[in-house]
Amino acid sequence: MLPGAERKGETVQHDRFTWRQTLTATLAAAALCAAGYVLAAESGIPKLSGVWQFGQCADGSRMRCLILLENDPLLTDRAKAFRDAMDEAAQPKYDCAPMSIPHMWTDPYSHQIEQFDDRIVFTYGKDDVVRTAWLPNSKHPKPAKNEFLYFGDSRARYENGALIVETTRFAFDPQGLNADFRLPSSTQKKVVERYTREGDDLILEVTTTDPFYLKKPWVYKVRSKRDPEPLALPWDCDASASQDILKMMAPKFPNDPPIKRLPVE
């Protein structure tokens, strides 16, 4: 056998051995990656904690998707009738009442998300609003049948890598859909929020239904960036300053007695 032939045979055997090692290692790594992916998918818990900036509409319309207009096609005739009858001076916002969800997302302030084992806590950069969404393992009781809440009762769950928050049991709210256009929401309002991550961004999809005031679901999707700054709290609303603009408005019902508001303390 030629000297070179032996070396060639050894090279072939070595190449085959190396190829088998490489293939085995590749398959093992793929299996480990798959196992890790399965575990991550099974946990289904996105990392959402932190402070996030005011979201911009994912469709490129900046804030348009977040706002129900005064004559929005989604509004029922009942909603329009309430809008026309409602006195601007009677809006709760002039007494430091915050906007409820989903309208609260239209305010250009950051918000904070905190994830705990049994709950999700949302803190908003305006009006000192703190919402709690209870996870399935919490022992927080559900509202009584006769109990309705300004921000509703929020129940959360993780599902396919997303945080889903469903909120019902809202109290009737004369500014529940839009405080600027006097668009109310009823006790039948339901808000579903879906939080996911897309790279470094937070994606929030919101679906709101209200059979009394919306013809069909109001849906929008916003994208938020992380805010490097903490929330500037407390908000410390000034009711007197909020009410100053009312002095320049003619009363809608001039024959009614003048309104003397209770102090906000």
- Asked if residue 5 has pLDDT above 80, the reply is no
pLDDT tens per residue, range 25-54: 444 444 433 333 333 344 689 999 999 999
Q: What is the mean pLDDT of the chain?
A: 86
C-beta of residue 204 within 8 angstroms of C-beta of residue 55? yes
Structure-block tokens of residue 200: 């470094």
pLDDT at 142: 95
> What is the pTM for the complete model shown?
0.82
pLDDT tens per residue, range 67-76: 999 999 999 9
Q: State the pLDDT confidence band at 6, using cuts at 50, 70 and 90.
A: very low
C-beta of residue 264 within 8 angstroms of C-beta of residue 96? yes
- Asked if residue 226 has pLDDT above 60, the reply is yes
> How far is residue 82 CA from its own chain's centroid?
27
pLDDT tens per residue, range 142-190: 999 999 999 999 999 999 999 999 999 999 999 999 999 999 999 999 9
Q: Which residues does 251 contact at the CB level (< 8 Å), separation at least 6? A: 87, 89, 258
